[in-house]
Amino acid sequence: MSMRIGHGYDSHEFKLGVPLVIGGVKLEHTHGLAGHSDGDVLLHAITDALLGAVAAGDIGTFFPPSDKRWKGADSVIFLEEAMRQIEIAGFRVVNIDMTLILAAPKIVPHAEKLRARVAELLKIIPSCVGIKAKTPEGTGTDNAAIAHAVVLLESIPLETLLEEDEACVCVGEDEDF
Ligand code: MG
């Protein structure tokens, strides 16, 4: 079995009057995050961590901000493409650890919901999803949300791949030519 590690980082500026979406979860707040997509800083960091782990470039490689198709896009689309890339490379997620740095809102009351959503998207259980939130003390970044994500991948066991292959063969054999 081989393993890979990936790190992702992102930051977005707060903007008054737009919805705040972090980790695929909509949070009540006066400000949302500005960006070409829905500004989901955490899903962007996770997407880069996954792509980085299999050396498949970064979020901009697949979804250039110059492309109008991704204006206001749900960032789940980006993460799902990254999951597809790691599966093509023969890997699956073991666990993830994340740190959010933002002045407000408080993340603790929403942490379980965020963990559950990220676990669902990464096809792992919530106990394999770590999330921590820090305030940006002394950094002068109160008007931004910053996210770091570190992800560990393991190669998909050969027997799992063989089972999938056998399932494909059976479908073919059942067909009457
Ligand atoms: Mg971003």
E-strand ranges in the chain read 3-16, 20-22, 25-27, 31-33, 91-101, 129-134, 144-155
Using the predicted structure, report yes or no on whether residue 173 has a pLDDT greater than 70: no
The alpha carbon of 44 and the centre of ligand 1 are apart by a number of angstroms equal to: 5
Q: Cα(144) to centroid of ligand 1, in Å? A: 12
Query: What is the per-residue pLDDT for 167?
Result: 64
Tens-digit pLDDT profile for residues 22-44:
999 999 999 999 998 999 999 99
pLDDT at 146: 98
Q: Using pLDDT thresholds of 50, 70 and 90, give the confidence band for residue 19.
A: very high
Per-chain mean pLDDT for the chain:
92
Q: How far is the CA of 121 from the centre of ligand 1 (A)?
A: 18
Compute the distance from residue 167 Cα to the ligand 1 centre, in Å.
39
Give the strands of the sheet with 31-33, arranged side by side: 31-33, 3-16, 144-155, 91-101, 129-134
pLDDT reported for residue 175: 47
| Domain layout of the chain by residue ranges | 3-173
- The domain 3-173: what is its CATH number? 3.30.1330.50
pTM of the predicted model, to two decimals?
Answer: 0.90
Residue range 143-164: mean pLDDT, rounded: 91
Mean pLDDT of 110-130: 98
pLDDT of 158 higher than 50: yes
* Alpha-carbon gap, residue 47 to 82, rounded angstroms: 6
**Ligand 1 centroid to 162 CA: how many Å?**
37
For 37, the token pair is 């997509």
What pLDDT score was predicted for residue 169? 54
**pLDDT confidence tier of residue 65, bands split at 50, 70 and 90:** confident
